[in-house]
Amino acid sequence: MLKVGIVGIGFMGMIHYLAYQRIPGVKVVALCESYAKERLTGDWTKIKGNFGPAGQQMDLTGIATYDNLDAMLADENVDVVDVCLPPAGHAAATIAALNAGKNVFCEKPIALKAEEGVEMVAAAEKNGKMLLIGHVLPFFDSHNYVFEAAKSGKYGKLLGGNFTRVTSNPFWLNLDRFYSMEGAGGPMLDLHVHDAHYIRALFGMPKAVQSVGRLRGDAPQYFNTQFIYDDPDLVVTATSGNIMQQGRPFTHGYEVHFEKATIICESFTGTPVTVILGDTQEDAKVEKPEFPAGDDITPFVNELTEARDAFVSGKPSAILDGALARDAVTICHKEIEAVQKRGRVEI
């Protein structure tokens, strides 16, 4: 039985807790929360997010509760520390857990600063422990389908794609802190980092980025980026950020180009995964793959099952790898620089 301690009982801490309940061979044995200590009693009713279930009263019978991380790290019953703190706290908590001899699963982004990501990966290597980062996007059926098609070569060579991730301002948070590069990093590191990670996983590390966008302080609020590669066939772009109108729901989607197919998906219009095939009008056709039924928690169950398998087997997960997550943050910071300069920045 893999025994997990979650540090940070906010929205993502709750989502991870609920996901673990569905995974065989895993048990949450400890919780740590120093900010909203009533949550250690099971009162999660004030937790809010932009998807998934509302917070509720939880039965925490049999689970050890701590209001400081050092105390939880001293608990020999904890095998894995799951870090769900605000991003500014990821590096310190992760490094402390690794130094305490624990394996770590840390929610995305790996950190707010690329150099902190480097330090976290180095701490895992130094301690002989595993560091996995919770980039859940590849575990959604819609994105996993493209990822598996790219790995298998089913539709030939990847030629690029456009990725979109836009929503309204998260008014349930402190917006000054959200847009601070010392707080949450704004939409670039809270929202777009998902696509930066996915682009890095699909296409490799770009050699440069070229971005334009609107700034709120020093943080990009809404932006568009072209990712530049040596391969002239690769045309990769992304649009992301927050807009003012609160009627705008959280929206994400993509159009990915292969030699033999184009795959599209878009949440706002309700466009399911759609595969467009055929190079001529005569052989043109459209396929819509079907996926097993699921809910908002299902991708996190898939993600944390992958993490369980990696921790138990001792074989790192390629898609949850800390170095890949570190690269995603590096890309985001280059995009921030490019937005500020309104131009191209080398990576």
Report the pLDDT value the prediction gives residue 320, as an integer from 0 to 100.
Answer: 97
Report residue 81 as tokens: 């520390």
Assess contact for 109 and 189: CB atoms under 8 A.
Answer: yes
Q: Which long-range contacts (CB under 8 A, 24 or more apart) does 26-29 make?
A: 26/1, 26/2, 26/304, 26/308, 27/1, 27/2, 27/3, 28/4, 28/63, 29/3, 29/4, 29/5, 29/63, 29/64, 29/75, 29/77, 29/78
What percent of the chain clears pLDDT 90, i.e. is strictly above it?
A: 80
Q: Do domains 2-134+300-317 and 138-291+328-346 have the same CATH topology?
A: no
pLDDT band at 172 (very low <50, low <70, confident <90, very high): low
Structure pTM?
0.91
How confident is the model over 217-228, as a mean pLDDT?
94
**Looking at the domain 2-134+300-317, which fold is it?**
Rossmann fold (3.40.50)
Topology of the domain comprising 138-291+328-346: Dihydrodipicolinate Reductase; domain 2 (3.30.360)
The pLDDT value recorded for residue 175 is 73
pLDDT digits (tens, 9 = 90+) for 255-287: 999 999 999 999 988 899 999 998 877 788 999
Do residues 131 and 117 lie in contact, with contact meaning Cβ atoms separated by under 8 Å? no
Domain positions in the chain are 2-134+300-317, 138-291+328-346
- Enumerate long-range contacts of 32-39, CB under 8 Å, 24 or more apart: 32/5, 32/6, 32/7, 32/8, 32/65, 32/66, 32/67, 32/68, 32/69, 32/71, 32/72, 33/7, 33/8, 33/9, 33/65, 33/67, 34/67, 34/68, 34/69, 36/9, 36/10, 37/67, 39/9
CA angle 198, 202, 207 (to 5 degrees): 90
pLDDT mean over 51-71: 91
pLDDT, tens digit, 9 for 90 and up, residues 289-340: 999 988 999 999 999 999 999 999 999 999 999 999 999 999 999 999 999 9
DSSP string, 217-269: TTEEEEEEEEEE-SSTT-EEEEEEEEES-TT---EEEEEEEESSEEEEEETTT
Calculate the average pLDDT of the chain.
93
pLDDT given for residue 51 in this prediction: 74
